[in-house]
Structure 1
């Protein structure tokens, strides 16, 4: 049984029916030091260090890291007809949604005061690195989610890295999604390669994509010199449900995520004790016939939880505290209930909206915030691949309006250089006017 305590404000309002055995947020202490070593070695020794870590962690000894044009095409040609059609269906849906999102991000020009012109431009990031997790299974949707929005955004170059032992179909997915370059490098060493650049791998401006604890920690440590989208992974799913929830359907969706990784966090938040107990029983029942039960059962035992809430208000408050990556709503009026929720990565409204549909092909991005980050950010989207950069220009009339306040404020702050710069345009114009009127 977990030693985790509910945060202040939830005492007496919620209780565990099934508590998590461990904390997914705290289970990273043994990762930090190793990631520091990997980043340092790759930064100092480049390809040689990548080769050593690829042999050590992936048992891969490659002559070259980059996937050649011929190998890219061979991977595409090797796809089964239906697999290719399904991949292209997903690519088109993700592209369509990203294009619609990009259409909402507009350049801006206003005249805030007479002669004072302010605005911003929407500028695609020049080079983006997309980490494509291989994991235990060939996640064919993974490259679509990180590469397609970058190409829609207009990035000059999207560089993809995926583990050297990733399924060949993953290379095909990267190619069909539009990756400009593809490298067989995985884990923290891939993040280091894209962040610092090596003899083979170009340095990128921003790194996007989910991964395991090592990838996540590497992204955290390189942030600054390069940008990152967010810390995404391991996966999470929570379901909020009232008495209308169906135990078998909820258990199915929880286990669908639990099979991702042994550190996946899954949970049910409900006001109905009967549903809570029935769902717990249903999870155990379905594990008996699930082919991936070895992974899912460990995830459920260590990080699974069922929380019983005193009322709807407590259920909403606790859900917002968790801020789950994937949040499913199984209530009597799901669309109305959804309006009351504010913290989540992506929201799945009604029992027809399975996380799996979004994971694969509906068009919304499956790279989402985890570990409570849904309290302050949303998931990966086309806007993650552009910069909103402001600009300004002033007519002579505007200088007369802003120079006085800027000069006085600078003087009040004791910043003489600022005061001089603020006054310089006014002084210059005054001197010019005096010379002309002599």
Structure 2
């Protein structure tokens, strides 16, 4: 049995706002028809940004990096090394296959990288350097030949740290360009931006809607929603740590759900008290406070089994486990984007530095998909070869029967012909 020690103040919005959808449709259509001119018009309108070229030159990139403290550069390099290391471990787990499944029947698959990827790196309230690490570095490890990256200007200027992160991650082209116009330019192409095969990266509601509308014309990584965190805690958990970690994710945005599921009423109530104490001193308290007020929950359950059940029901983007038996959760939990085990681990490590990818499923999508990984930038394609006339005859006869059961006479005749040729003749309809 479960009961709420704190409930949400309002339900999360799960449908795309009509105004957002309509506005995005208009921008995409304008970029499709007007190319660079439309992109420039929207950049001026939304970001007051209209440089001679949105694409940065090598000189501009070098200048941006030179303006940064050496420590910032060193930290970017270290984090990207962590991301690259894990991506390479993932790549090593992926193998091409080829097997002779019957005499002379060869089946196989190969994993081929996507040719070109567009990485959208958010700016605005938070310039997400980490998204450059996660997307560009991982795509390059996968073997993507052309990765272009875009990010919005910051207060009418080049965002130096984001540019450095994109460059050091291996971006082949860097554009200071934000919003729907950037996603549209990469997806449909303009006079100065060659289209890509896939778009990856988080963004606001407009960017997310642009990816949704363009999906099919280009591939996308995920349909992204607000950041989510769910913490499972028993009576061994430290309420202060729980409170800090809930707030760390709540500051992503005012619509970010932050949920605690606990078997201990004391831990639940002490966590609420700690959040109330910590919030006023948090520099992002307006955002985090709104998220906690409107989308924060503390759920008391009778057993750890019920806590696991609630967690799988929510299928949260991030799940943290503060219990006495951490590995029990690893074995039994099913629905999550990423799992963080123990007090010495936190979601923010995954967000920023540890090396696993932070582009993860939200809004229950963890029930059917995982997050961004090196395999997302690969296409697994199959091939077939038959070297045996006898096997071709057997398959041809089988195809003839199977296809005619579905009224596909043309398919059946493809099988008839090969079966007959294997016997040294031609089918009656071909004579």
2:72 to 75, 83, 86: 83
Paired residue for 2:226? Answer: 234
8 Å Cα contact 1:262-1:296 kept in structure 2: yes
Alignment of 1:228-267 (within 5 A): 228-267=220-259
Q: For residues 217 and 127 of structure 1, what CA distance do their matches in structure 2 show? A: 21
SS in 2 for 1:158: strand
Alignment of 1:1-400 (within 5 A): 13-26=1-14, 28-29=16-17, 30-165=19-154, 167-395=159-387, 396-400=389-393
Q: 1:411 to 1:27 in 2, by over 3 A?
A: closer
In the superposition, the TM-score normalised over structure 1's length comes to 0.93
Per-residue Cα deviation, 1:27-65 (whole angstroms, up to 9, x for no partner):
632422222222222112122222222222222222211
Q: For residues 376 and 25 of structure 1, what CA distance do their matches in structure 2 show? A: 21
Paired residue for 1:422? Answer: 415
Superposition deviation, residue 14 in structure 1: 2.3
Q: 1:425 to 1:149 in 2, by over 3 A?
A: same
Larger mean CA deviation between 408-417 and 110-119 belongs to 408-417
8 Å Cα contact 1:331-1:350 kept in structure 2: yes
Per-residue Cα deviation, 1:271-316 (whole angstroms, up to 9, x for no partner):
2222112111111110121111111111211222222223222211
SS in 2 for 1:257: helix
Larger mean CA deviation between 267-276 and 97-106 belongs to 267-276
Q: For residues 74 and 18 of structure 1, what CA distance do their matches in structure 2 show? A: 50
Q: For residues 356 and 43 of structure 1, what CA distance do their matches in structure 2 show? A: 38
Q: For residues 120 and 224 of structure 2, what CA distance do their matches in structure 1 show? A: 11
Give the unaligned 5+ runs of structure 1: 1-12
8 Å Cα contact 2:393-2:422 kept in structure 1: no
Give the unaligned 5+ runs of structure 2: none
Aligned length: 422
Larger mean CA deviation between 131-140 and 110-119 belongs to 131-140
Q: For residues 382 and 23 of structure 1, what CA distance do their matches in structure 2 show? A: 34
8 Å Cα contact 1:335-1:350 kept in structure 2: no
Superposition deviation, residue 25 in structure 1: 4.2
SS in 2 for 1:288: helix
8 Å Cα contact 1:329-1:338 kept in structure 2: no
Superposition deviation, residue 322 in structure 1: 1.0
8 Å Cα contact 2:229-2:258 kept in structure 1: yes
Q: For residues 124 and 59 of structure 2, what CA distance do their matches in structure 1 show? A: 25
Superposition deviation, residue 430 in structure 1: 3.2
Q: 1:139 to 1:320 in 2, by over 3 A?
A: same
8 Å Cα contact 2:234-2:322 kept in structure 1: yes
Superposition deviation, residue 232 in structure 1: 2.3
SS in 1 for 2:163: helix
Q: 1:40 to 1:21 in 2, by over 3 A?
A: farther
Superposition deviation, residue 155 in structure 1: 0.7
SS in 1 for 2:281: coil
Q: For residues 6 and 206 of structure 2, what CA distance do their matches in structure 1 show? A: 28
SS in 2 for 1:119: strand
